[in-house]
Structure 1
Amino acid sequence: MDPIIAATHANPYPYYAELRVEGGLTFHHGLKLWVASSARAVCAVLAHANCRVRPTQEPVPNAIAGGWAGQVFGQLMRMNDGERQRCPRSAIEPQLALIDMAAIKALVAARLITPDADGLYKAMFRGPVCVVAALLGFNPTQARLISELTADFVACLSPLSNDLQLDAAHRAAEQLRGYFVELLAEPNVFVANTQQRFSGDEDALIANLIGLCSQTFEASAGLIGNALLALHRESSLRSAGPDELLAEVQRFDPSVQNTRRFVAASCEIDGVRLEAGDVILVLLASANRDPAINEQPDKFLLDRPNRRSFSFGNGRHQCPGRVLAMTIASATVSQILAQGIDLDRLSWQYRPSLNGRIPLFSILDA
């Protein structure tokens, strides 16, 4: 086991506990990077000005630099610090806060979810992006296309993607850009208000609207899938309300297990000296289980008091779409359960990833 393999291990949480005992911020000689495992260390790293989301010498991964996917990647607020992060966030985040949650639930309810493995896959991966695309102003046919293109585009965000997947990501990025150019020409209220707030160029705005779809793709899929696993493992949870269930799922078994930070200048973090060029693997899922911030952290408690979670990040890079993702996931889980899927017949494996914990389901024969 190592901190990267742990993300898709059957049960990484005892290993995370061992890491916390060894120290909140320690060096992993095998991976040649620092590992932040305690809540205190994770907070310190995510808040530190010298800890950046991309290495200074490689703002865009070399594998996609020069192509359409690289152009989008390089402008994403989640992949930038400073003004390139603050400008799109200040335009998009206020509009996300104004979205009517009832409208989201209505859009989810309008989708047909079939009680089979293909239906689960589409509900987890395609449905949430369709909902976001509809909120942005795309019609149902366009929304489905946006979800399909987003599925191809997200390959550029993973170091595990092969050349064929990266080629598809470049094509998808180009096509997505075309759809968003048309959308900006005749925007709905959400997009029009975002345009008014945005002080950058149109390409940067388009990139971050594509980013809103791509973040929805994996974050929502993991939330939905891990909620179903919680229900599969503990039948007593099946009477719980979906909102209460998802609130604890995102802490207990988050879809984003870790993130990375790159040290831009020598500094001290949590009593440890780091040098420019060092890489830190930030174990968000481990911090969620730290008893220093959550009592009885290894128990799944629907009514957990003072719940603390790093699953949506912390500080300046905290995910602005948290409420949107949680609402979509909650409504989708409700619709899946309404179809009468037999949760006891689920089997799964985790989608290959260095940081995501997203189950892919099949349904066993009765």
Structure 2
Amino acid sequence: MTTPDVFMPRLPWDAVDPYPFYAARRREGDVVWDATAQAWLVLGHKVARNVLAAPHWISDPRANQAATAGRFFTADTVAANMLFTDGPTHDRLRHAVRDVFGHSFISQLTEGVESLCKQAISTIDVDEPFDVMSQIAWPLHVAVIAAWLGLDPAQCQVLREHSPAVIRLLSGITDTDTLHVGLAATTALITEFLPAAADRRAHPRDDLLSYLATAPELSLDEVVTTAILVAVAGHETTANLLGAALIRLITPTAEGTRLADHIDPADATVLTELLRLDSPVQAAARTATADQQLAGVHIRSGESVLVCIAAANRDPHVYPAPHQFLPGRPGPSPLTFGHGAHYCLGSALARLETSTALRHILERRPVLTATPAWRDTPAIRGPHHVPARFTA
């Protein structure tokens, strides 16, 4: 249990609506200290982009004194996870899988993703009440990643059951109870994935898990860790993006209109703007390895920052009228998938899944039947329930 008299750093913004917090803190500058998180918050787009790509920053959670989860990671655990490594180790882990995550390879999955989207949506009749998240978003994205990895139904069930607890660990800043639940969930996934990876190494099949298991650059531990990372991050964040995007598109405005009635979901600029406005990943933690200046603020070696991706994506100095939905707006790409060496490996697949799912869902003309409910996860923002019905 959490000890009452021990201060536990936590993410300071509201998980449901973090944007007023970001706007208020931005008035103090692009880089501000936050006592609740025990870290510097990086809010400006330019400085956030620089931190994500510049040297003298590391991703190892053990270096972040405020990151509770970091104290429970071992050297072996960190070394096997490309999220937490930098330099040659990170390059080796990423190089082993980068070819199958490139645009040319992901485009070959289009037909399969289309088929799974149709299956998920066609089971729901016109005027039948349903929940977008539990009946479409989560099952769909689990199905896509499971089909690619080659997971069986039992493994899919374990993945769906334990992923929410694992995703809470990614920020590194969490309370002790949540941490222990997350570590137990991680152990459950390792127990499920380890024998499967070992079997694929000896008897490879035509799936992503076999591709990972037979990669000469990867140890078996690295295969398991990478497969879990792909499986968890590959469906959790994308499901949250789909749910948040749909809420934005079908919620009636004050004038009674809906964005969905005036956009083409196949337009790449529409998805880019949805990514900017509703980034599932709210922040990425980094620790300085040298003294340096950020937007006029002196950061000492060993101090940590939270690169607030969602805040940077609404920087008014970069995106005029930042809270408005304006597809095709000028300006740099949003930082939703990160930047630099840690740019999201699954970005192409996430774009394919989200745009395909939105197109099929909007063809059925969905309407909200009640107010959506959001998850209480400040690091990874997304809806918990989106009550709706199809009208066509």
Aligning the two structures, in what range does the TM-score lie when normalised by the shorter sequence? Answer: 0.7 to 0.9
Instruction: Please say if 1:93 is aligned against 2:98.
Output: yes
Match of 2:55 among 43, 49, 59: 49
CA RMSD, Structure 1 to Structure 2 (Å) = 3.2
Q: How does 1:182-261 map to 2 (within 5 A)?
A: 182-184=199-201, 185-188=203-206, 190=208, 194=212, 198-233=216-251, 234=253, 235-239=257-261, 240-244=263-267, 245-261=270-286
* 1:266 matched residue in structure 2: 291
1:308 Cα offset (Å): 2.1
* 1:181 matched residue in structure 2: 198
* 2:147 matched residue in structure 1: 134
Partner-residue secondary structure (3-state), 2:298: strand
**In 1, Cα distance between equivalents of 2:142 and 2:388:** 28
Question: For residues 312 and 209 of structure 1, do their structure 2 counterparts lie closer, same or farther at Cα, with a shift above 3 Å needed?
Answer: same
Preserved contact between residue 261 and residue 282 of structure 1 (Cα < 8 Å): yes
1:16 Cα offset (Å): 2.3
Match of 2:133 among 95, 105, 120: 120
What TM-score comes out, normalization by structure 1 length? Answer: 0.84
* 1:167 matched residue in structure 2: 184
Instruction: Please say if 1:20 is aligned against 2:26.
Output: yes
Question: For residues 62 and 309 of structure 1, do their structure 2 counterparts lie closer, same or farther at Cα, with a shift above 3 Å needed?
Answer: closer
Q: Which amino acid aligns with 1:348?
A: P
Question: For residues 123 and 307 of structure 1, do their structure 2 counterparts lie closer, same or farther at Cα, with a shift above 3 Å needed?
Answer: farther
**In 2, Cα distance between equivalents of 1:57 and 1:279:** 8
* 1:61 matched residue in structure 2: 69
Partner-residue secondary structure (3-state), 1:61: helix
1:95 Cα offset (Å): 0.9
What TM-score comes out, normalization by structure 2 length? Answer: 0.79
1:139 Cα offset (Å): 5.2
* 1:350 matched residue in structure 2: 374
Match of 1:36 among 28, 37, 42: 42
Partner-residue secondary structure (3-state), 1:254: coil
1:323 Cα offset (Å): 1.3
Match of 2:112 among 103, 128, 133: 103
Preserved contact between residue 138 and residue 236 of structure 2 (Cα < 8 Å): yes
Post-superposition CA distance 1:47-86 (Å, at most 9, x none): 22222112454799367547xxx96565210121122211
1:314 Cα offset (Å): 0.7
**In 1, Cα distance between equivalents of 2:378 and 2:41:** 14
1:30 Cα offset (Å): 4.6
Preserved contact between residue 159 and residue 189 of structure 2 (Cα < 8 Å): no
1:28 Cα offset (Å): 2.5
1:333 Cα offset (Å): 2.8
1:195 Cα offset (Å): 5.5
Question: For residues 140 and 6 of structure 1, do their structure 2 counterparts lie closer, same or farther at Cα, with a shift above 3 Å needed?
Answer: same
**In 2, Cα distance between equivalents of 1:285 and 1:254:** 6
**In 2, Cα distance between equivalents of 1:339 and 1:151:** 29
**In 2, Cα distance between equivalents of 1:38 and 1:198:** 41
Which shows bigger deviation, 78-87 or 303-312?
Answer: 303-312
Structure 1 unaligned runs (5+)? none
**In 1, Cα distance between equivalents of 2:52 and 2:288:** 11
**In 1, Cα distance between equivalents of 2:180 and 2:297:** 39
Question: For residues 228 and 137 of structure 1, do their structure 2 counterparts lie closer, same or farther at Cα, with a shift above 3 Å needed?
Answer: same
1:289 Cα offset (Å): 1.3
Question: For residues 62 and 50 of structure 1, do their structure 2 counterparts lie closer, same or farther at Cα, with a shift above 3 Å needed?
Answer: closer
Question: For residues 61 and 14 of structure 1, do their structure 2 counterparts lie closer, same or farther at Cα, with a shift above 3 Å needed?
Answer: closer
1:210 Cα offset (Å): 1.4
**In 2, Cα distance between equivalents of 1:156 and 1:23:** 28
Question: For residues 168 and 142 of structure 1, do their structure 2 counterparts lie closer, same or farther at Cα, with a shift above 3 Å needed?
Answer: closer
Q: Which amino acid aligns with 1:358?
A: G
Preserved contact between residue 93 and residue 321 of structure 1 (Cα < 8 Å): no
**In 2, Cα distance between equivalents of 1:162 and 1:22:** 32
Preserved contact between residue 264 and residue 277 of structure 1 (Cα < 8 Å): yes
Instruction: Give the fraction of aligned pairs with identical amino acids, expressed as a percent.
Output: 23
Which shows bigger deviation, 236-245 or 274-283?
Answer: 236-245
Q: Which protein has the bigger helix share?
A: 1
Q: Which amino acid aligns with 1:323?
A: A
**In 2, Cα distance between equivalents of 1:27 and 1:18:** 13
Question: For residues 212 and 257 of structure 1, do their structure 2 counterparts lie closer, same or farther at Cα, with a shift above 3 Å needed?
Answer: same
Partner-residue secondary structure (3-state), 1:292: coil
Structure 2 unaligned runs (5+)? 1-8
**In 2, Cα distance between equivalents of 1:147 and 1:187:** 23
**In 2, Cα distance between equivalents of 1:336 and 1:317:** 31
**In 2, Cα distance between equivalents of 1:355 and 1:212:** 18
